[in-house]
Structure 1
Amino acid sequence: MTISKARASLGAALLGAVALTGAPALAQGKPEARAATLQKLSDCRKVADSTARLACYDAAAAELETAEAKGDIVVVDREQARTVRRQAFGFSMPSLTLFERGEKAEEVDTITAKVASASMNGAGKWVVELEDGAVWVQIDANEVPLSPKAGDPVRIRRASMGSYLMSVKNQRSFRARRQE
């Protein structure tokens, strides 16, 4: 996966997040704010006359469907939000509090994956691409006794001061940074 593809995927997830809550709400730090289109649907409950309320719901639902079809608003369920948090593991990103509505955010401290490919860069550090497209680069001088190969299991865990430790095939860990 190229850097642009990774950024596009992450960007799409963040764009969906912004569409869900509205950019002004994020700028003001108010994750409880709603997109105007969704608020219109909710406001229909306040209409006293049942015929007028039904007409309000019909119009608001049609507007919501149109906005979703155009990509102006994105609806994300809890499982999709968890997936985004896991895909973002290793990236320094702003808070994604809108993915945490209704539940305590699942803190991802460790991931497991499989190596898709691995090679050494010009500085003699390992570059490991995982099957999900994430690319991690070794940043310390630790020796890796057995070269990582496609299909090898990988465990990456959060370490101190924002760093990450990667272990391939249960070997001694080395410090790594997510590149893509």
Structure 2
Amino acid sequence: MTRGYKMLGVVTLVLMANPGQAATKARPPQAELFTNLLQCRSIAADAERLACFDRQVGAMETASQRDEVVVLDKSELNKTRKTLFGFSFPKLPFLGGGDDDDAAKEEEGVSHIQATIASVRSLGYGKWQIGLEDGAQWMTTEAVTGRDPKAGQSIEIKRAAMGSFMGKIEGGRTIRMKRVS
């Protein structure tokens, strides 16, 4: 098997180094690299096809070394989505945005997260800042009644109506929350 064909098996997603370009409908130059690589398959002559693959894989490798493109597999993409859960971003196609497909979002596991509380800090009046093990910081926007949250407890945070989030700390009631960092 040639290097070009192996590369096609490895490349699953090409992300742009500048996410601001993703919002436009015009195809960014980085996506052109991937398109050009795929077009090599249509060349009938073996030697020309191999030369095309070698040239395009070289161009992608150079762009990758310059951090102009980033290649992620699906598990890395899902980790990135979970890390960014709770932040408001424009709909970015490479993070699953763009089309309002709630079923696809649900399938990808970005409609909620299950985590362990790493730290808690009282903000007064029954409100808390809650640090998760992955470093994410959340704040309750309403008072927590009953048991105070503690490090080591599990928490589930779900998307709610109109861009809000609801959290449930180990056996407690559901409370409104927002991501702060």
Task: Say which of 34, 38, 58 aligns to 2:34.
Answer: 38
Tell me which residue corresponds to 1:106.
105
Query: Structure 1 residue 47 and structure 2 residue 46: aligned?
Result: no
Q: 1:121 aligns with which of 123, 138, 147?
A: 123
1:112-163 deviation per Cα after TM superposition (whole angstroms, max 9, x unaligned): 11110001126652000011111011112x3332221111111112222222
Identity of aligned residues (%): 35
**How far is the alpha carbon of 1:20 from its aligned partner?**
9.5
Task: Please point out which of 136, 139, 144 is paired with 2:138.
Answer: 136
CA contact (8 A) 2:111 2:158 kept: yes
Q: Which stretch shifts more, 142-151 or 109-118?
A: 142-151
Secondary structure at 2:70 match in 1:
coil
2:157–2:165 contact (8 Å) kept in structure 1: yes
Contact 2:141 2:177 in 1 (8 A): yes
Two-structure CA RMSD over aligned residues (Å): 3.0
Distance 1:20 1:113, change over 3 A: same
**Deviations along 1:43-74, whole A, 9 cap, x unmatched?**
32343433222222111112212222221111
Q: TM-score, normalised by structure 2?
A: 0.74
Instruction: Name stretches of at least 5 consecutive residues in structure 1 with no aligned partner.
Output: 1-15
- Given the two structures, how large is their TM-score scaled by the length of structure 1? 0.74
Tell me which residue corresponds to 2:163.
Answer: 162
